[in-house]
Amino acid sequence: MTEHCCTEMARRVDPHCDVHADPYACPDALVGFVAKFQEYGLVVHDGGTAMIGILFCPWCGRRLPESQRDRWFDELEALGVDPGEDDVPVEFEDGSWLSGPTG
């Protein structure tokens, strides 16, 4: 599980809505977090799952962790996995791959 920079960020990236099961459908969901890439963003409410990346926490002002997107793809490539063609190992679907041998 990822530790976020402050309690407000932790609360906002894991919203609990009684009306919307999908956070991208909830107008109160403002910030998203993609664990496998360690990326934060402002949710774009356009019917999809788009986010606009952010580098600093809107509540405490701390710099957010550097994206691990490039490393994610590099590690999969080193394993011979093409995420567009192959099944991605389960540990790469969340942030648990980051605590592996090279994490």
Q: The pTM is what?
A: 0.85
Instruction: Give per-residue pLDDT as tens, 34-83.
Output: 999 999 999 999 989 999 999 999 999 999 999 999 999 999 999 999 99
Question: 42: part of which helix (H) or strand (E)?
Answer: strand 39-43
Domain limits, the chain: 7-53, 69-99
CA 27 to chain centre: 19
Is residue 6 a contact partner of residue 57, using CB atoms and an 8 Å limit?
Answer: yes
Q: What are 28's two structure tokens?
A: 């109160």
Q: Are strands 51-53 and 39-43 parallel, antiparallel or unpaired?
A: antiparallel
